Structure 1
């Protein structure tokens, strides 16, 4: 019997988009406690190319060459290993497969106890492209929201509000009842309004512009890009205990990431999407053969929403 094969993005050396290649590889087989997923869509995140940019960073994530690419996926179970319960061939699923998701097939643990090696049932009403965007960005946004705990009496400043994590964070804060002011470029204003945020341009004078928008003050802040929003929030009198970062470490300020998300956060986000309460804009989609173009676009950090690979 001929060995089944499939396409996968792989790297033989660390670096940028130019080292990404699409190859025909043997299809992985589901072992005990595992399921194999026929991937239909893979969502890209900044961490995908950051992890594989150099050997030192890759080693921190337990990666070594040759290595695959991408972590978020959605698809259909097509093989179930011994001892697996709760999944059957034909089930629609989504989740994470650390640095190997941009491939025709991924094998993950059915138990789903590790966020980067998991499968979850895709709710009815959530298409595969959308499901493929949820894991990393959704969990990260949930962690950041939990860190500042917004409510109806809050005005939350979110820096980098239009990016992949920002689209979730803005909407989760709004669902919690908070008013949201989101930083972005001048060209992103309409996009931010559609998400439910009041737009404000980042850069010099940010604190003054926020004061003009919210003369009653800002009560919490999430910085998804760097440190500008943190400094602005401090200038506006927001206590460090209600400020959170994602892409920077600052003494006294909570740093959030997907690993610190509340239990059940991903399932809750999927339910919100299915119920039509949370919308995930897909800014662009590419076939796997255009992976380099997709990563170049995503790495520019000016994408309004998510970038997805179709398989």
Structure 2
């Protein structure tokens, strides 16, 4: 028997106007697969980028979304995660997968992590892509207790996770953001600075003893120039500047050309990230939730680049 569901797809390459919700039939889970009824799906800039540029017509319609959270509704033979065998009714986080903007998913058990009971559905659905990316940036730059870390883009989804994870490691965090987000960053333990002209001087005024590591989460020339002026190249990482990054010899992380995807490292971080979020030590700030039918509006919001926290779709 097949599973009837709905999912969001891009029907063409270009803008959010190409997004549509389609009916789809999923096969019952096979060996080491699980049917998850989705309760929340995280929206990320990578989702927008996946169809913003021209691609292969054969890829259309293109399913969107890399992360979700939901309830196990059926379990294939031998399905288990890091906590043991999976059962109907288990609450799980799905990452990494494809087509997560959906009411139902059938995924391999390797994509699942148990959802802590105290973690809300929108928070769980938006936790792991940004959280695992932030974890990767800290590992790549060897951030440790006593370090001073400069986080460019501290109020974005990855930035908020990086600020908190760096603080949990015992690092001092200086984070760039617009003034409207300074109070939030202070609440999370960071020292905010406003980006724009004079950023280098403002950071130097705060960090009299220097900066040990820099995380470029925005991809601007300003972020690159300030990082290079303050930090050794081997402790700078960028998830966004794939133009100057190779020229400057810094670490590139993620899905861009020449970048370290860090798939194994990110996957291994999932249980710890879930545990920290469940304990309230890693907060997932949800900026807005939308139904699947309003995915285009969610993408318009995230494309502004000025969203504080995560946007989440709720089927």
Residue 169 to residue 125, structure 1, CA distance change in 2 (3 Å): same
Deviations 1:246-275 (A, max 9, x none): 112313211123831356211111111112
2:73 is matched with 78
Q: Give the C-alpha shift of residue 97 in structure 1.
A: 5.2
Partner of 1:64: 59
Cα distance, 1:28 vs structure 2: 4.1
What secondary structure, in the 3-state scheme, does the structure 2 residue paired with 1:199 have? strand
Q: 2:229 aligned with 1:235, yes or no?
A: yes
Aligned 8 A contact 2:67 2:125 in 1 = yes
**2:268 alignment counterpart:** 264
Runs of 4+ in 1 over 4 A off after TM superposition: none
Cα displacement string for residues 21-51 of structure 1 (whole angstroms, at most 9, x for unaligned residues): 1223224421222111100000101001101
Question: How far apart in 2 are the matches of 1:135 and 1:146?
Answer: 16
2: CA distance between counterparts of 1:242 and 1:97? 27
Contact 2:130–2:157, Cα closer than 8 Å, also in 1: yes
Name 1:119's counterpart in structure 2. 112
The Cα offsets for residues 62-105 of structure 1, whole Å up to 9 and x where unpaired, read as x8112211111000111112342411111111122544111111
Question: Which 5+ residue runs of structure 2 have no aligned equivalent?
Answer: 256-260
> Which residue pairs with 2:137 in the alignment?
144
TM-score (norm 2): 0.89
Q: Distance in 1 between matches of 2:234 and 2:155?
A: 24
For residues 38 and 225 of structure 1, what CA distance do their matches in structure 2 show? 34
C-alpha displacement at 1:54, in angstroms?
2.8
* Aligned counterparts, 1:42-191, within 5 A: 42-56=41-55, 64-85=59-80, 86-96=85-95, 98-110=97-109, 112=110, 118-191=111-184
Q: 1:33 to 1:11 in 2, by over 3 A?
A: same
In the alignment, does 2:300 pair up with 1:296? yes
Query: What is the distance in 2 between the residues matched to 1:253 and 1:263?
Result: 23
Q: TM-score, normalised by structure 1?
A: 0.90
Instruction: State how far apart, in whole Å, the 1-side matches of 2:239 and 2:48 are.
Output: 17
2:251 equivalent to 1:254: yes
State the Cα distance separating 1:150 from its structure 2 match: 1.8
Number of the residue aligned with 1:305: 309
Give deviations 1:216-266, integer Å, cap 9, x for gaps.
221111000114223202212x11111111112313211123831356211
Gaps of 5+ in 1: 113-117
**Which sits farther off after the overlay, 20-29 or 173-182?**
20-29
Counterpart-to-counterpart distance in 1, 2:286 and 2:208:
34
Corresponding residue for residue 32 of structure 1: 31
Rounded to whole Å, the distance in 1 between the matches of 2:66 and 2:267 is 20
Question: What is the RMSD computed on CA atoms of the aligned residues?
Answer: 1.9
